[in-house]
Structure 1
Amino acid sequence: MSGWDSEVDVAVVGGGACGVMTALRAARNPGLVVAVFEKSTRDGCNAAISSGSLAAGGTRFQAAAGIEDSPRRHADDILAASGDEEWRPVVEALCAAAPEFVEWIADTGYPVEIGADMPRAGMSAPRLHTDTGRLGGGRLMRHLRALLDGHDNVAFVDEAPVVGLVVEGGEVTGVVVMQNGAAQRVRAQTVVLASDGFAGSPTLVEEHLSHLGAPFYGGVSSATGDALAWVLPLGARLRNMGAGLRSGLVVVGHGTRVSPALPFNGAVLVNLAGERFVDEESKGYSSMAGILQGQPGERAALIWDATAMAATRESEMMRESLAAGAVRDHPSLEGLAADLGRTAEETERLLAPLPGRRALTAPYHLAWVTHGLLASQGGVVTDPSGRVLDASGAPIPRLYAGGGTACGLAGPHSDGYLSGNGLLSAFGMGWIIGNGLAAGTG
């Protein structure tokens, strides 16, 4: 082992959703030694600051609630939104894995329920699964990382950023890890790139996502896309680099977000010109960001009532916004009108429901929302098993990718993102890669 500081069978770069799932599944094979190198749990990962909602079609939780769904229907919904038929084999593989990993997570003792009260644009059936109590992705990631402690063949190494790949004879043979200020060469039979994307890198955002303007950034600081520079010299290909996970529900001046379910409970959007400018139910929160970007001041007032508040206030996002004082309360139409700078008559017309929608009634609630960027969606091209492909479509030996490193599910544009796609691609590819490694087929 000359020239190496340590040796493992599987080196996982990143301890977020994809990395932890990969390690948990691979470690079922007691003959594998797995190391997860995490840049910094203090900085966090995008999964930990997400809502923790898991999109899956055809689960036992849906069946118990009388919801008909399937992995194929799930995949078709994603592809209808993204228009990215070239990516269908990967999408179908992830959607097939989704009910398996959601039910497995539940079977490890995590409290899972179907979010029947979480409607989202683009979903033909309720398929977001959440934790009881709606405590979010932080709770989920703590649970999964704790499961690693039950495997004596896994090491989770914190404050250990990977700074490069070791390539010998054109083949990936390990990683270079910084620990306590010193570089360590770790030999590995397989390397899995499972780090966050590049939305936290001003340089890469300017290069690939400048068309998004100057959005509020709501992701983690560690999402700097380091792995992209490592794989390009190996012949890897990137795709859909102009797509991001956006949100049109970021509260101005606070940086919190309000619930994506509000528009499905009657909430309306009014811009600074005093205009309704969109069918609020027709857009997902990522595509809504582009709509808001084009409005005067790049913002609008989202208005809802007590009924909508009751339906959404227990979500993690709403709790955070309410605690931050990001929501304004108006007992009467006149107070709401004054906040909007409109007459009561104008405001009443603005609140008129679209055909078939519920009318809002006092008391009212208001938050000024703008657009934000939460994560990138472009990344490395893989096959459905997670192997990184070169420009000819051939797998690069011993190299896998998932999570933010890999190309996501939004397609070529941010409007194609559906709620839950991020954790679907991260957990799903970790599930697929880890199972393959455990079975010796990776």
Structure 2
Amino acid sequence: MTDVDVAVAGGGAAGLMTALRASLDEDLVVAVFEKSTREGCNAAISSGSLAAGGTRFQRDAGIEDSPQQHADDILAASGDEEWRPVVQALCEVAPDIVEWIADTGYPMEIGTDMPRAGMSVPRLHTDTGRLGGARLVRHLRGLLDAQPNVAFVDESPVVGLLGSAAGISGLVVEQNGAREQVTAAATVVATDGFAADPFLMAQHLPHLGAPFHGGTSTNTGDAIVWLTGLGAQLRNMGSALRSGLVVVGHGTRVSPALQFNGAVLLDTDGLRFVDEEAHGYSSMAGILQQQPGERAAMVWDATAMAATVASEMMRDSLAAGAIEQLPTTAALAARLEISAEVLDQSLLPRAGRRRLAAPYHLAWVTHGVLTTQGGVVVDPAGRVLGADGNPIPRLYAAGGTACGLAGPSSDGYSSGNGLLSAFGMGWIVGNALAGVPTSHPTHQRSTS
């Protein structure tokens, strides 16, 4: 048996942030048990973009934003007013998280070239060079490795909790085929969602059909079983982070900024069927699911390519040969097997938007699911709520374990919600365990 002060299940974004912040109290012994860094976590395969309103990066770019405006945008998309206390708590700490990460030496900038549906101002913060979430996860794990009071234990899946609804006293982990009990004064469950578990997907998300799974294989929803066994409440289990930008036959994705730079979507008859700028990539997945063949042709030009090619999604798709280039309108029409007249009509720009010009780029896209958004109910402090609505003593949840921010429908997902929820709740829980202010004094900012 091992005894620690803080036991964390899961070493992804939420687990890393929880441990980093909790370790600020040098008297605490923190242990993080990770199922498999080899298999990876969703944060590592994400774009690594952090949504925050009211940062110094936005102010330097002349962008007026605030945590309140950020929260209002999220809730306008999700329609989930009941979840406002949690959303507001996460949005309040988001600027501090972005600035703290930057101050640890991570190269951060505001993505003014990353427009997203439902985002009233640019607020996605990303690494310079756009190398994606793997770079961010490596950086945070490096910071954690330098903490003398933290142990990060890899290839050690958590298989259960110690205790009952009256209180949790630690974890059960599996190492080298043997099980070990880890007792702790505080237990944080920061495992991921359940998008890789066919049974849970069929139970909670049958309406998604059979989408491409773009998440990691470790997203098996293990914590759902443990926590429901304690009487923990579940919420929004029919919601997921989806993508309507998955390239057919390749599994890569194209940039969500394409449609804001003129890209159009055409059905299998070459007809335009949606206002591309009116939808985020999660809600676009549902629209593509209803199309013949559950796919569509995305067409864009050199101007749109130049505006988006720096993203890791576009680099991956180009490297995979997932994007075609057609030199003329006639060549594009022939490739789509439609008449030039139909194509000309479909490429007519909507009011206020520009017309695409040859040469063109083409990718056939379909719908996929990246991770789930449903999970256990937590309060704004990250405490897991039991059947009676009260916190289960000494138990916290974050990341894919906790209910996300998309609301009851996948259409309510706003870009950046995943890392906002994971890092935000990790920050809140870790700070509370370390006894430090939620908003660090050196990272205060104006909310005006």
For the criterion TM > 0.5, the same-fold answer is: yes
Kindly indicate whether the alpha-carbon contact (under 8 Å) linking 2:271 and 2:342 is maintained by their aligned counterparts in 1.
no
**Deviations, residues 301-343 of structure 1 (Å, cap 9, x unaligned):** 0000000000000100000000000001001001100111111
CA, structure 1 residues 95+27, in 2 after alignment: closer, same or farther (shift >3 Å)? same
User: Does 2:70 correspond to 1:50?
Assistant: no
The match for 2:155 is 159
Give the Cα–Cα distance (whole angstroms) in 2 for the partners of residues 355 and 340 of structure 1.
25
Q: Partners in 2 of 1:421 and 1:343 — Cα distance?
A: 41
When the two structures are superposed, what TM-score results if normalisation uses the length of structure 1? 0.98
TM-score, reference length from structure 2: 0.97
Question: Secondary structure in 2 aligned to 1:245?
Answer: strand
* SS of residue in 1 equivalent to 2:429: helix
CA contact (8 A) 1:196 1:225 kept: yes
Kindly provide the amino acid, as one letter, of the partner of residue 9 in structure 2. Answer: V
Q: Distance in 2 between the 1:336 and 1:130 partners?
A: 34
Cα displacement string for residues 220-251 of structure 1 (whole angstroms, at most 9, x for unaligned residues): 00000100110112121000000000000000
2:220 aligns with one of 220, 224, 235: 224
Q: State the 4+ residue runs in structure 1 displaced beyond 6 angstroms.
A: none
Answering whether residue 355 of structure 2 is matched by residue 348 of structure 1, we say no
**How far apart in 2 are the matches of 1:275 and 1:349?**
8
Q: Indicate if the aligned counterparts of 1:273 and 1:296 stay in contact, CA closer than 8 A.
A: no
Would you say 1:61 and 2:46 are equivalent positions? no
Q: What do the CA deviations read for 1:175-204 (whole angstroms, capped 9, x no partner)?
A: 110011100111111100001101111110
Counterparts of 2:228 and 2:346 in 1: how far apart (Å)? 51
CA distances 1:244-274 after superposition (whole Å, capped 9, x unpaired): 0000000000000000000000000000122
Alignment of 1:174-193 (within 5 A): 174-193=170-189
User: What corresponds to 2:235 in structure 1?
Assistant: 239
User: 1:76 maps to which residue?
Assistant: 72
The residue aligned with 2:333 is 337
Shift in Å, 1:345: 1.8
The structural deviation recorded for 1:441 is 9.5
Q: What residue number does 1:405 align with?
A: 401
Shift of 1:76: 0.2
1:127 aligns with 2:127: no
Q: Secondary structure at the match of 2:105?
A: coil
Unaligned runs of 5+ in 2: 439-448
Distance 1:170 1:378 in 2: 24
Deviation of 1:349 (Å)? 1.1
- The secondary structure found in structure 1 opposite 2:7 is strand
Query: How many Å separate the matches in 2 of 1:39 and 1:135?
Result: 24
Query: CA separation in 1, counterparts of 2:47 and 2:164?
Result: 41
Change in 2 beyond 3 A, CA 1:327/1:169: closer
Query: What whole-Å deviation, never above 9, does each CA across 1:358-399 have from its counterpart, x for those lacking one?
Result: 100000000000000000000000000000001222000000
| Residues 1:299 and 2:295 aligned together | yes
Q: Which residue of 1 aligns with 2:263?
A: 267
Structure 1's unaligned 5+ residue stretches are none
Match of 1:433 in 2: 429
Tell whether the 8 Å contact from 2:186 to 2:395 is kept in structure 1 after alignment: yes
The separation in 2 between residues aligned to 1:122 and 1:234, in whole angstroms, is 37
Name the structure 2 match of 1:109: 105
1:218 and 1:192, CA in 2 relative to 1: closer, same or farther beyond 3 A? same
Q: 2:305 aligns with which of 306, 309, 315?
A: 309
Counterpart-to-counterpart distance in 1, 2:355 and 2:164 = 66
Q: Distance in 1 between matches of 2:399 and 2:378?
A: 11
Task: Select which of 175, 191, 208 maps to 1:212.
Answer: 208
Deviation at 1:415, TM superposition (A): 0.1
Per-residue CA deviation, residues 405-428 of structure 1 (Å, 9 max, x unaligned), is 000000000000010000000000
Shift of 1:169: 8.2
1:253 corresponds to which residue? 249
AA in 2 matched with 1:248: G
TM-fit CA distance, 1:171: 2.2
Report the AA paired with residue 138 of structure 1: A
Measure the CA separation in 1 of the matches of 2:216 and 2:280.
22
1:417 to 413, 416, 425: 413
- What one-letter code is carried by the residue in structure 1 that aligns with 2:154? D
- The amino acid across from 2:371 in the alignment is A
Give the match for residue 168 of structure 2. 172
Match of 1:277 among 234, 254, 273: 273
Instruction: Read off the aligned partner of 1:258 and give its amino acid letter.
Output: V
Query: 1 CA distance for matches of 2:325 and 2:399?
Result: 39
Q: In the alignment, what sits opposite 2:95?
A: 99
Distance 2:255 2:162 in 1: 44
Aligned partners of 1:333 and 1:168: how far apart in 2?
66
Residue 40 of structure 1: aligned partner: 36
Q: Which residue of 2 aligns with 1:323?
A: 319
Q: CA–CA distance in 2 between the matches of 1:173 and 1:424? A: 28
User: Alpha-carbon deviations, 1:141-199, whole Å to 9, x = none?
Assistant: 00000001221000000000000001168421111100111001111111000011011
| Conserved 8 A contact 1:25-1:438 | yes
d(CA) in 2 for partners of 1:210 and 1:311?
A: 37
The CA distance in 2 between the partners of 1:72 and 1:247, in whole Å, is: 27
Q: 1:328 to 1:168 in 2, by over 3 A?
A: closer
Candidates 74, 78, 85, aligned match of 2:81: 85
Quote the Cα distance in structure 2 between the aligned partners of 1:169 and 1:407.
Answer: 19
CA distance in 2, matches of 1:343, 1:222: 46
Sequence identity of aligned pairs in percent? 72
Q: Which amino acid aligns with 2:224?
A: L
Map Cα deviations across residues 115-153 of structure 1 (whole Å, 9 max, x no partner): 000000000000000000000000000000000122100
Which residue of 366, 370, 376 corresponds with 2:372? 376
Q: RMSD between aligned alpha carbons?
A: 1.1
